[in-house]
Amino acid sequence: MSSAWEIDRRTVMVGAGVLAAAATVTACGGKDGSSAGAQAPVDGPPGALARTADVPVGGGVIAGDTVITQPTAGTFVGLSSTCTHAGCRVGNVSDGTVNCPCHGSRFGLDGSVRGGPATEPLPSKPVRVEGDSIVAG
Ligand code: FES
């Protein structure tokens, strides 16, 4: 059964997608070379989240529900992008921290808490390098 609610919900979802895309475009290219916001799907093997070249040393990128950081050259770390404070998705990686837009929590590139109100680190997520891509798993 179709209803006005279903149409409105679909409209809202499309609008949210447009806003997310706009946020991605405007948030990329931070002053320190870090990327911010969600990444577009990448070409590569199944499960590819990002290209290794897109993850700055000392920074990171957000690919959906995964934050990929590169604390030191050649070492890639996968973290959940869900903030441990109240469940918002973290918004960007800049100046060496993963930052939540909701209440200002900051996490280190290893997921450790650098600033509250969060008290728990971002959980690890398995990632591996496959060719020039970072792959989930
Ligand atoms: S949900 Fe991230 S700081 Fe509150």
Evaluate if residue 118 carries a pLDDT over 90: yes
Assign 44 a pLDDT band (cuts: 50, 70, 90). confident
Domain residue ranges in the chain: 55-136
Is the model more confident about 87 or about 32?
Answer: 87
Helix (H) or strand (E) holding 63: strand 60-63
* CATH top class, domain 55-136: mainly beta
Q: Among residues 128, 126, 129, which one has the least CA distance to residue 66? A: 126
pLDDT tens column, 62-110: 999 999 999 999 999 999 999 999 999 999 999 999 999 999 999 999 9
Bridge partners (DSSP) of residue 124 are 79
Q: Is the CB of 25 under 6 A from ligand 1?
A: no
Q: Which region among 29-33, 55-59, 108-112 has the lowest average model confidence (pLDDT)? A: 29-33
User: Which of 67, 90, 100 is the best mutation target for the ligand 1 pocket, counting ligand atoms within 8 Å of the beta carbon and taking the most?
Assistant: 100
DSSP 8-state secondary structure symbol assigned to residue 36: B
Q: Is the CB of 118 under 6 A from ligand 1?
A: yes
Q: Is the CB of 99 under 6 A from ligand 1?
A: no
99 within 8 A of 111, measured Cβ to Cβ: no
Residue type, 38: A
